[in-house]
């Protein structure tokens, strides 16, 4: 560890689903860590992304989107994770979509007010605005909702204003030494990352309704001299979903496997032999015991 770190702490990226939290994390780290997709509720875990620079170490926390619908065990689990992170963080990055203020943004704002932490309001997706002047009335409206430490319009896609955001986060962190080695990127194992990479490809390849009822469990992760062998199970809730994922003559599952293997080889820097199976666990997203068995704790 270096001895010249002056500020170190946790910055939680909080917001409703699909505002770009994981994309922002990857942008700030300069490396893909969290999986992303256009579909809500892609992030299911609390993921740490660690960046050490310029006398500061920021431990970013990517979180699931806070949402109103908590009917199923999975939804309640996602909200619990996000709510806990709000209480634990040193700095809160409240992220919204520049194109509209949503009712679920109000829900997130209520949680943030209860935490009484420094809050930076990040207005994301400004690259989608045809006229940046449209930001002014939105920002004026939001100023009255909470005394934000800063309000920073950004684009996580084009990286506009992300350097400014990062410098302000570092300035707000408590004084103290770094908490992780400077070359550590995350708290998540490569085994965990492999499961997430497979799940990301699954989300992108399969039908729209399937991402919410699928998860990936790594059964084998063996690093050999010239190749890494990975065996993974894709869990679904119904037999019909299994048929959809496998596809005609196995074509869709093969596509998922090919895309995942390529990214895994880039990440690991080695050849990868990937085996995928699809299995059914009835109603697992509404069964807390089944969820715990699949790592959702």
Q: Where are the beta strands (DSSP E) in the chain?
A: 7-14, 47-53, 56-62, 91-97, 119-124, 150-153, 215-223, 227-236, 271-280
* All CATH 3.40.50.300 domain ranges in the chain, comma separated: 7-172
> Is 297 or 234 the better-scoring residue by pLDDT?
234
> pLDDT (tens digit, 9 = 90+) per residue, 218-256?
999 999 989 999 999 999 999 999 999 999 999 999 999
The pLDDT value given to residue 3? 55
- 3-state SS, residue 19: coil
Q: What confidence category does residue 207 fall into, taking pLDDT thresholds of 50, 70 and 90?
A: low
DSSP state of 55: T
pLDDT at 1 over 80: no
For the segment 35-54, the average pLDDT, to the nearest whole number, is 87
Query: 217, 292 in Cβ contact below 8 A?
Result: no
The pLDDT value given to residue 197? 97
* All CATH 3.30.300.20 domain ranges in the chain, comma separated: 190-293
Q: What confidence category does residue 123 fall into, taking pLDDT thresholds of 50, 70 and 90?
A: very high
CATH classification code of 7-172 = 3.40.50.300
The pLDDT value given to residue 93? 97
pLDDT at 283 over 90: yes
The pLDDT value given to residue 209? 62
Dihedrals phi, psi of 113, to nearest 5 degrees = -60, -35
Query: 187, 62 in Cβ contact below 8 A?
Result: no
CATH classification code of 190-293 = 3.30.300.20
* Token digits of residue 1: 């560890």
**Contacting residues for 16 by C-beta, under 8 A, at least 6 apart:** 65, 66, 67, 96, 102, 104, 105, 107, 108
> pLDDT (tens digit, 9 = 90+) per residue, 262-275?
999 999 999 999 99
Q: What confidence category does residue 86 fall into, taking pLDDT thresholds of 50, 70 and 90?
A: confident
The DSSP string of 150-182 is EEEE-BTTTTBTHHHHHHHHHHHSPB---SS-T
In angstroms, the Cα distances linking 156 to 98, 152, 217 are 12, 12, 30
Residues of the chain with pLDDT > 70, as a percent, come to 97
Q: What confidence category does residue 208 fall into, taking pLDDT thresholds of 50, 70 and 90?
A: low
- 3-state SS, residue 186: strand
Let me know how long the chain is.
297
> pLDDT (tens digit, 9 = 90+) per residue, 158-190?
999 999 999 999 999 999 899 999 999 999 999
> Is 281 or 6 the better-scoring residue by pLDDT?
281
């Amino acid at each position: 560890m270096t001895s010249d770190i002056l500020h170190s702490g946790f910055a939680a990226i909080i917001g409703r689903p699909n505002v770009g939290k994981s994309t922002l994390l990857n942008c700030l780290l300069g490396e893909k860590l969290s999986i992303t997709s256009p579909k809500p509720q892609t992030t299911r875990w609390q993921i740490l992304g660690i960046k050490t620079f310029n006398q500061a170490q920021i431990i970013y926390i990517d979180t699931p989107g806070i949402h109103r619908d908590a009917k199923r065990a999975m939804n309640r689990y996602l909200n619990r994770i996000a709510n806990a992170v709000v209480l634990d963080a040193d700095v809160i990055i409240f992220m919204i979509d520049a194109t509209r203020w949503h009712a679920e943004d109000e829900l997130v704002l209520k949680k943030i007010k209860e935490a009484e932490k420094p809050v930076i309001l990040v207005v994301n997706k400004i690259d989608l605005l045809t006229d940046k002047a449209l930001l002014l009335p939105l920002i004026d409206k939001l100023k009255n909702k909470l005394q934000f430490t800063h309000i920073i319009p950004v684009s996580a896609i084009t990286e506009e204003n992300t350097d400014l955001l990062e410098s302000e986060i570092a300035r707000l962190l408590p004084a103290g030494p770094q908490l992780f080695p400077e070359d550590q990127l995350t708290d998540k194992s490569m085994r965990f990352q492999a499961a997430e990479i497979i799940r990301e490809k699954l989300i992108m390849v399969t039908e729209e309704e399937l991402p919410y009822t699928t998860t990936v469990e790594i059964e084998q992760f063996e690093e050999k001299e010239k190749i890494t062998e990975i065996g993974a199970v894709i869990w679904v809730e119904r037999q019909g979903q299994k048929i959809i994922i496998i596809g005609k003559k196995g074509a869709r599952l093969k596509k998922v496997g090919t895309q995942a293997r390529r990214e895994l080889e880039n990440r690991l820097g080695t050849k990868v032999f990937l085996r995928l199976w699809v299995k059914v666990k009835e109603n697992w997203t509404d069964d807390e015991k089944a969820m715990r068995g699949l790592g959702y704790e």
